[in-house]
Amino acid sequence: MENWEETRAALERKLLDAKKIVLEYEHTLKPFRNITDAEYRQAKRDMVDAATAISYGDYEANKPADPLDGMTLEQLKDLYEQQKAAIVGDGKTWGDDGFVVKRPDHREIAKLMKIQTRIQKLESNEVAVSASRELEEEYKRVSNLLQSVYNTIVGAEGETL
């Protein structure tokens, strides 16, 4: 959203123009209207489209950055273990009737699950990369084998001819 301010200004102009048409249509008696029904309907659509685009653009422009972006797998695992230890602890607190299981905050658990999901995604990407490397190596091996078989066949035919 590099040029969001310029884009927003253009959308606001479009919104104001559409509002002007709508208000003129609604505040003029039917026999004296200069605006057709089709123009009015289009202006209403333009108002909704421009307002929606402004709203979505403002959200995207002001969206906070994800703190987990750019972290390596090891960093995420360390963060996960730290968060887990902070949430779970020993898992118990002392009550009147003995040890009682402590209930952690649901927001903290949601953050922990988000970190865990990111870890799983990175691990699956690493597995996919290693699998593609293995497939590439296998392809090269089979290709070399087929080339040697082809060379042997061509060489054998060349000798018989």
Confidence of residue 48 (pLDDT cuts 50, 70, 90): very high
pLDDT at residue 105, rounded to an integer? 76
Give tens-digit pLDDT for 122-139: 888 888 888 888 888 888
Residue by residue, DSSP assigns the chain as -TTHHHHHHHHHHHHHHHHHHHHHHHTS-GGG--S-HHHHHHHHHHHHHHHHHHHHHHHHHHPPPPTTTT--HHHHHHHHHHHHHHHHTTSEEEETTEEEEPPPPHHHHHHHHHHHHHHHHHHHHHHHHHHHHHHHHHHHHHHHHHHHHHHHHHHHHHHH-
Residue 68 domain flag: no
Residues 131 and 94 in one domain: yes
Asked if 150 and 108 sit in the same domain, the reply is yes
The number of folded domains in the chain is: 2
pLDDT digits (tens, 9 = 90+) for 81-108: 888 887 766 555 555 555 555 666 788 8
Domain boundaries, position 48: 4-62
Same domain? 104 vs 153? yes
Residue 90 pLDDT = 56
Instruction: Examine residue 67 and state whether it is found in any structural domain, yes or no.
Output: no
Would the pLDDT of 78 be above 50?
A: yes
Query: Higher confidence at residue 72 or residue 24?
Result: 24
pLDDT band at 69 (very low <50, low <70, confident <90, very high): confident
Q: Are residues 47 and 121 in the same domain?
A: no
